[in-house]
Structure 1
Amino acid sequence: MSKFKKKPKSEPGISTASLPDIVFMLLFFFMVTTVLREQEILVEQKIPSATQLQKLQKKTLISYIFIGKPKNTSLFGVEPRVQANDALLEPSGIRQWVNQERDMLPEADRGLITISIKADRDVKMGPISDVQYELREADARRVLYAAIGKVVKD
């Protein structure tokens, strides 16, 4: 009588056919949801610290103004400068900039525009008060002062 050998049962392997699809879906997801830096900061920034801060909920209504000594002192000098978006401005140009920022928002949110001032801790109060005056004249009534510290939840 002949002997029949039993073949060992092999487990079916894990199919890797859909693996490239999953990898590309994850890649696409992270590319869409990642927020890149919108502006190149042209002024030095050492943000002052604070003890009581509040985190904002709707960040699409915020426009940023940076105040500090220029990084390229040979081109722009050593006096504190005001930067809005990717350009250095004189304080007199802030009204026009605020109106441009308002025009980019939906009409229902135009009154809710918030200006965040990120001033270097070594900047004197003169340039900051010039910016505040121009913001008042531009009717930008919501002004924040950026600081580093512990966030207090409401």
Structure 2
Amino acid sequence: MSKFRKKKKGMPAVNTASLPDIVFMLLFFFMVTTTMRETDLRIENPVLPSATEIKKLEDKSLVSTIYVGKSTDTNRDGAGYNKIQLNDKISTADQVPAFILGKRDKIAEKLVPFMTTSIKADRRSNVGTIIDIRLKLRDVNALKINYSSTPDAKN
């Protein structure tokens, strides 16, 4: 009689066969939708000047950004609104040509004429610093320059 003993019927086990599929779909979703910040700002978020005629940049992968403003760590970098940030470090105007040439080496030769240099300068920055940057950009033939600004509130 022990051969035909009835088994206790309990809750069936949860089917986990589709769990890896769900995990990979979520992982893929977050990998596709997340954007990584290219640089960490070492200068304070610049208060951009306002402008009336604004045009958006078309291909942001061909844009090299130079930040000009006040350093967030004045003990290490010094005080003043004339600090230049290239990539993740505070630099001088003399290092701008190497920065641009490094960016040119990373893209295809046929895209070099479409490269744009964007200057995000705080409105309290010295114009002399921006002119120094422009002269160094002229030395390496980086003549497409964009000055970032905010829309004029009056329009």
Q: TM-score, normalised by structure 1?
A: 0.79
The one-letter amino acid of 2:75's match is S
List structure 1 runs of 4+ shifted beyond 6 angstroms: none
| Native 8 Å contact 2:66 2:118 kept in 1 | yes
Q: CA deviation at 1:56?
A: 1.9
Q: CA deviation at 1:125?
A: 0.5
The one-letter amino acid of 1:120's match is D
Q: Secondary structure at the match of 1:29?
A: helix
**Structure 1 unpaired stretches of 5+:** 1-14
Quote the residue 1:63 is aligned against: 64
State how 1:39-118 maps to structure 2 within 5 Å. Answer: 39-44=39-44, 45-79=46-80, 80-118=82-120
Q: 2:142 aligned with 1:144, yes or no?
A: no
* Shift in alpha-carbon separation, 1:17–1:107, aligned structure 2, 3 A: same
What is the CA RMSD across the aligned residues, in angstroms?
Answer: 2.0
**Structure 2 unpaired stretches of 5+:** 1-14
Aligned identity (percent) is 41
- Please give the per-residue CA displacement for 1:36-78, whole angstroms capped at 9, x wherever unaligned: 2110111121122222211122111001000011111111111
Higher strand share: 1
- Please give the per-residue CA displacement for 1:116-136, whole angstroms capped at 9, x wherever unaligned: 000011112110111011111
Quote the residue 1:9 is aligned against: none
Q: Structure 1 CA distance, aligned partners of 2:20 and 2:99?
A: 46
Q: Structure 2 CA distance, aligned partners of 1:69 and 1:92?
A: 18
